[in-house]
Structure 1
Amino acid sequence: MQVTETLNEGLKRGYAITVTAAELDAKVEEKLKEAQPDVEMKGFRKGKVPMALLRKQFGQRLMGESMQEAIDAALTSHLEETGDRPAAQPEMKMTNEDWKEGDDVAVDVSYEKLPDIAEVAFSEITLERMVVKADEDSVKEALDNLAESPQAVTYEAKKTQAKKDDQVILDFVGKVDGEPFEGGAAEDYPLVLGSNSFIPGFEDGLLKVKAGDEKDVEVTFPEDYQAENLAGKKAVFSCKIKEVKGPKKPALNDELAKKFGADDLEALKTQISERLEAEYTGASRAVAKRALLDALDKEVSFDLPLSLVEAEASQIAHQLWHEENPDVEGHDHPTIEPTDEHTQLAERRVKLGLLLADIGQKAEVKVTDQEMTQAIMNQARQYPGQERQFFEFVQQNAQFRQQLQAPLFEDKVVDHIFEAATVTEKEVSKDDLQKAVEALEEE
């Protein structure tokens, strides 16, 4: 077997691999001898079929297998010897297309190898981490928001007309084409106007009603309504208003705290303070992470595999096109050509992706089974009632598991760099942190 280099330009590599006819024949012979003891054929006892007959019966199929195995073995041996790591699946092309049994096999192999990346002096990277404390005003604002939440608000009867945010207690019967439909009636139903918990138009139709009023509200079910027999249909709801109640904001006291699982008001304030500071810490980390990535992008340089950049640029262009054309759900649209801006962004993503992967590998960063399980559980919560199907999907889909693992791995690598970099803390206001986060979103 011969491997001859045909291309060595930047990260591009090309090789001509030749597998001799003798090598192929020997491999076929080996496979036949291995299979012979288990082969049964009419006229022969098991394991006693002549080799010539076996070759005639199975030789052609085994020749194809032997070709592929020999070429794969040659490539694997070459990669182990050179240390090359292909950026994508190597391209293989048989060059003697008129091959017949007895000829050597000639194959051209080409790929782009991943670049060699120099060690990064993390200690020379200087970063600033914003620190925000949860002050009394922020805690008070969060308390006020809790007091106005549906869980905390109570309602008291009023004699005036119903307006947005009021609660209406009513009986109703819905009819389509004059006939009641299943699930379209209720008694003593408490409905908060403006909650959008009913069909569009229903709550608006109850504005300005008073206790004792009777009113027919006409609505049209959405075209995508879950009950197909009602989708797109016009309906009339006959409503009897029993009571109108206005919202009453609760006092900030121990009773309110207990509604949110705290022992008393001070304990609730402590919980709020801890939650706010956790949010501030997360936002601060995002800002510091962007600063770190910017620093790495500026300080580190190496050749990029063109195939990875082109694929990433195409993906970016495609994603942005769909964001600008949300009505197009499928991929039946004109070819989207990446712009220079898309390519520049792709170069940054590919560079940082390769760099973080290299740093993580050298530092032996691992995502634990427990961390993966937690990530899967977090995703499963987005599909209430379908958790079992989601877990089965994850088990059967290696690519999706990789998508879940990638951000976990990246964050652990970033934390590894933070520990070695020179990081100073600077106490700032909540507004300063908010401006910094908004600046990230604008880029």
Structure 2
Amino acid sequence: MQVTETLSQGLKREFQVLLAANELEERLTSELSTLKDKAQIKGFRPGKVPVAHLRKLYGRSVMADVLQNAVNEANQKIVTENNLKLALEPKIEFPGEQSIVERALDAKDDVSFNVALEVLPTFELVDLSDVSLTKQVAKPSDAEVDEAITRMASSNRAFAPREEGAAAETGDRVTIDFVGRIDGTEFEGGTGEGIDLELGSGSFIPGFEEQLVGAKVGDKRVVKSTFPEAYGAAHLAGKDAEFDVTVTAIQAPGETKIDDELAKTFGMESLEKLKEAVSTAIGSDFEAQSRRKLKKDLLDALDTKYAFELPPSLVHQEFAAVWAQVEQDLKSREKSFEDEGTTEEKATAEYRKIAERRVRLGLVLAQVGETADIKVSDDEVNQALIARVRQYPGQEQQVWDFYRKNAQALAELRAPIFEEKVVDHVLAQVTLTEEPVSKEVLFADEDDAEAGAEGQSETKSATDASASTGTDEGLPAVAKAD
């Protein structure tokens, strides 16, 4: 096998690999000799089949394996001898002339093929001692804890049937059957029977609950409402709907008691312990948001520190994934780029910059992790897998088996763990100060589209694009508030 470099331009490399006819013959003969001891052919005793006969029967199929093995060997040889780190799998190109391939399959002529690849850029990690970041931190106030517990008490309170002929009031629980239509046609998720709805809870789409105040058991009402523009099921967003509603029961709420007995219904020994648990839970949400904002600030800082050539294929792959998601979103919402106040050309440029940023930061974080010898243990992956399995009650074994048999799926669990470890390592190199803020300030940028985009994993070579399926299984579409 003779390997010759034919191109070295930026991050692109090309090599020509030559396999002489005599080498092909040797490889083919070796493979057939191995096959001879295993082949079971009628008329021949095991191990006694002539190689010439095997060649006549299986020569070309075995030669195809020989060529594939040669490709794998050539790739390994190129990477090892040139100390290359590949961005993507090499592209292999054999001669276009069929006659050349045919003669190679018969080991009657030399054959050559081209190996084109892209390598990862080399760059030095920069000093981050001049980077200063501020971490916004918020602590749950007593009012926020009390508000959460009040909601818990309200959801846990008892309801009792109202007297016959009584009209429903705000705060009552009504049981309803309904059929929803858009432009006169029933839609998926728009039908429900025996659905309990607490009036004034905001559980259903805007305007729905208010139109049931004053209804009595047995009443039939036509409720008109509009799905929000930002509704989760894109095919319903912004649509006007009409519901035929029948009220089958009305219950009045009992007294809301916030005491030790309430705490016990939630598995706590006292109200004080319940408040502590709620405060801890809210604090965890605050810390997660604080971490998201700090991470974005860190990535912004890193992005200003590095400028190097990016593998075109990685950028193209990342952009393709992002763009597919953008187009799917526009299609599902029946919107155009003009509706979003831009043009396809401007949007393309914008999302290409996002793709380039993700690839660049992914390469930086990967090199930081490699340099620092950051590892993700099997136990950490198992813990992540267990957490994922618990998200699918009733399907635990299937989900477990899927991940255990799918190396790529396991890698997707490992990647965010690795990334968070790398982020912690980098944060230890910068000057970090904490700034106490209110909940409102901490969550002020939560709906920022760019923040949401940049908050995704930077170490992934491509962004996962997933289409919304509309509603949660078992819930009517109207019951989704957003």
Give your verdict on TM over 0.5. yes
Contact 2:220 2:244 in 1 (8 A): no
Q: Equivalent residue for 1:363? A: 372
- Paired residue for 1:78? 78
Alignment of 1:167-246 (within 5 A): 167=173, 192-193=198-199, 207-209=213-215, 215=219, 239=248, 244-245=251-252
RMSD value, Cα: 3.9
What's the offset of the Cα at 1:441? 4.7
Of 245, 250, 269, the residue aligned with 2:275 is 269
Q: Give the alignment partner of residue 117 of structure 2, picking from 111, 119, 123.
A: 111
Which residue of 274, 285, 301 maps to 1:279?
285
Alignment-derived partner of residue 339 in structure 2? none
Q: CA deviation at 1:10?
A: 0.5
2:93 touches 2:114 (CA, 8 Å); kept in 1?
yes
Distance 1:28 1:293 in 2: 53
Q: Any idea what the Cα deviations from partners look like across 1:147-184, whole Å, max 9, x if unmatched?
A: 3x3124655857852124313589x9xxxxxxxxxxx9
Instruction: Establish whether residue 151 from structure 1 lines up as the match of residue 156 from structure 2.
Output: yes
CA displacement at 1:192 relative to structure 2 = 4.2
Q: 1:288-341 CA distances to partner (integer Å, 9 max, x unpaired)?
A: 10111011111022210011111211221221121122168xxxxxxx887111
Residue 126 (structure 1) aligned with residue 135 (structure 2): no
Say if 2:330 is the partner of 1:348.
no
SS at match of 2:434: strand
Say which SS state the counterpart of residue 16 (structure 1) adopts. Answer: strand
C-alpha distance in 2 between matches for 1:237 and 1:252: 34
Is the alpha carbon distance of 1:322 and 1:105 closer, same or farther for their aligned partners in structure 2, counting shifts above 3 Å?
Answer: same
Aligned to 1:430: 439
What's 2:475 paired with? none
- Residue 438 to residue 36, structure 1, CA distance change in 2 (3 Å): closer
Q: Report how far residue 389 of structure 1 moved.
A: 3.4
Q: Is the 8 A contact 1:164 1:194 kept in 2?
A: yes
Kept in 2: contact 1:250–1:256 (CA 8 A): no
Q: How do 1:325-336 and structure 2 match up within 5 A?
A: 325-326=331-332
- Contact 1:161/1:244 (<8 A) preserved: no
For residue 408 of structure 2, the aligned residue among 399, 402, 410 is 399
Q: CA separation in 2, counterparts of 1:28 and 1:385?
A: 52
Q: CA deviation at 1:260?
A: 2.5
* % identical aligned pairs: 38
The number of equivalent residue pairs is: 406
Asked if structure 2 preserves the Cα contact closer than 8 Å seen for 1:8 and 1:14, the reply is yes
1:58 aligned onto 2:58: yes
> Is the contact made by 2:90 and 2:116 (CA closer than 8 Å) also made in structure 1?
yes
The letter for the 2-side match of 1:94 is F
Q: Matches of 2:166 and 2:244 in 1, distance apart?
A: 28
Contact 2:3/2:16 (CA < 8 Å) preserved in 1?
A: yes
The aligned residue for residue 340 of structure 2 is: none
Distance 1:185 1:106, change over 3 A: closer
Q: Distance in 1 between matches of 2:370 and 2:213?
A: 63
Give 3-state SS (helix, strand or coil) of 1:291's partner.
Answer: helix
CA deviation profile, 1:214-254 (whole Å, cap 9, x unmatched): 556799xxxxxxxxxxxxxx999695x6x742x34524332
Which residue in the other structure is 1:181 paired with? none
Shift of residue 87 of structure 1?
1.4
Q: Would you say the 8 A contact 1:296–1:352 is kept in 2?
A: yes
TM-superposed deviation, 1:278: 1.7
User: Which secondary structure state, in structure 2, belongs to the residue aligned with residue 420 of structure 1?
Assistant: coil
Partner-residue secondary structure (3-state), 1:250:
coil
Q: What amino acid sits opposite 1:25 in the alignment? A: E
SS, match of residue 121 in structure 1: coil
- Secondary structure, counterpart of 1:128 in structure 2: strand
Distance 2:202 2:146 in 1: 28
**In 2, Cα distance between the equivalents of 1:238 and 1:78?**
74
Q: Secondary structure at the match of 1:435?
A: coil
Compared CA separation, residues 215 and 273, structure 1 to 2 (3 A): closer
Map Cα deviations across residues 107-161 of structure 1 (whole Å, 9 max, x no partner).
11111111123234344433222222223233233333333x3124655857852
CA contact (8 A) 2:158 2:254 kept: yes
**How far apart in 1 are the matches of 2:175 and 2:12?**
73
1:344 is paired with a residue whose SS is helix
1:372 has 2:381 as partner: yes
Distance in 1, Cα, partners of 2:199 & 2:146: 27
CA drift of 1:5 comes to 1.1
Q: Following TM superposition, by how much is the alpha carbon of 1:374 offset from its aligned partner in structure 2, in angstroms?
A: 3.4
Q: Is the 2:175–2:247 contact (alpha carbons within 8 Å) kept by the matching residues of 1?
A: no
Give the whole-Å Cα distance in 1 for the aligned partners of 2:446 and 2:211. Answer: 41
CA separation in 2, counterparts of 1:190 and 1:294? 47
Aligned equivalent of 1:412: 421
Aligned to 2:24: 24
Separation (CA, whole Å) in 1 of partners of 2:428 and 2:386: 28
Structure 1 residues 40 and 216: CA distance shift in structure 2, 3 A: closer
Kept in 2, the 8 Å contact 1:87–1:114? The answer is: yes
Q: Which moved more, 1:429-438 or 1:349-358?
A: 429-438
Output the CA distance in 1 between the equivalents of 2:310 and 2:85. Answer: 13
Unaligned runs of 5+ in 2: 178-191, 224-242, 335-343, 455-482
Please tell me whether the aligned partners of residues 215 and 247 of structure 2 are also in contact (alpha carbons under 8 angstroms): no
Give the SS at the match of 1:130: strand
- Superposition deviation, residue 281 in structure 1: 1.3
- 1:408 is aligned with what amino acid? I
**Distance in 2 (alpha carbons) for counterparts of 1:116 and 1:195:** 57
- Aligned residues of 1:96 and 1:105 also touching (Cα < 8 A): no
1:14 matched residue in structure 2: 14
Cα deviation, 1:362-409, whole Å, max 9, x if unaligned, reads 333333333333333433444443333333433444433333332222
